[in-house]
Amino acid sequence: METQVLQPGPKLQRYGITEKKKAELDFLKNQVIDATATVQQQQIIVNSLNEKSTKYQGYLLVSESNRSHALSNKNLIDQVIQNAYELGYNSNNAFSKTIISTEKATKVTENISELINKLIYSVEIINKLSNLVIRKKALNPLISDDLISRINTAGTDANNAVSLTLIALKSTLAAEASVLESEAAITLENKQAAKLYVTLTDEKSIDAPLTLKPVSDFSIRALLYNAYKNAQIAYEKANSANDETARQLSIATGNLAKAQVRLQSLQSSLAAATAAAYAS
């Protein structure tokens, strides 16, 4: 018996084309699914990096504000130390000059006191001489009246000189008291100025030339210098982290855009292939 070979008819050919297109559609659908997953994944990364970028920008603003305040404090302590140094230095000079003035005032007082003693002694001598001449005049009328007059005038002048010198002594003592008062005030000011300078810098004295570098880890100046240094380091780290996050976000955003373009392209291809399959 002869075997009959069946030729494919129109229906079988149509069935084969449908399967092929179905396979193509399934392939496109799988690509769309994969592309959609990629877009979602990239979107998650972008969202995460956006949140991270927002946080790091906040950190950067805070660290920049801290650095600005630390720098302001650093500059302020330099100015305060400069003023304290000048106050102490000028106070030292004023103190030295006051000591000299006190010594001079004391010397003047001593000189005036010595002068008064000499004037008083002179007055006593003149009075004795006047009494002696008057007694001699009573015994010897030939003694000149002019001599007696001159001796009396000398006595009066000597007494007036004593009075004036006493007034001068009084003024000198008042000036000396004022100088001593000033000396006490300047001594206190000098000690306080030196104490302030030492507190700010932890240096032992104010005699050395002013330097604005922290010489001790325990001084106020060193603490503020270190605070600025730490604030600067924190700012640089925050700035670096912010830049790195921005770089990562830029890359992730680019990857998301590419994934979205690919997804849109695959979706368009799937839509076109689906329409073509139903139309055939």
Quote the tokens at residue 140. Answer: 């010897």
Q: In the predicted model, what is the mean pLDDT of residues 274-279? A: 79
Quote the tokens at residue 153. Answer: 């005038």
Q: Tell me how far CA of residue 250 lies from CA of 114, 205, 236, 257, in angstroms.
A: 97, 58, 21, 11
d(CA 251, CA 231): 30
* Domains of the chain, CATH where assigned: 49-272 (1.10.287)
Is 242:57 a contact under the CB 8 Å cutoff?
yes
What is the model's pLDDT at position 179? 66
pLDDT tens string 254-274: 999 999 999 999 999 888 888
Confidence check: pLDDT of 3 > 60: no
What is the model's pLDDT at position 21? 78
Nearest in space to 143 (alpha carbons), one of 154, 153, 132: 132
pLDDT tens string 27-66: 989 999 999 999 999 999 999 999 999 999 999 999 999 9
What is the model's pLDDT at position 256? 94
pLDDT tens string 214-243: 555 668 888 889 999 999 999 999 999 999
pTM, two decimals, is 0.58
pLDDT tens string 134-151: 777 677 776 677 777 877
Q: Which residue has the higher pLDDT, 153 or 58?
A: 58
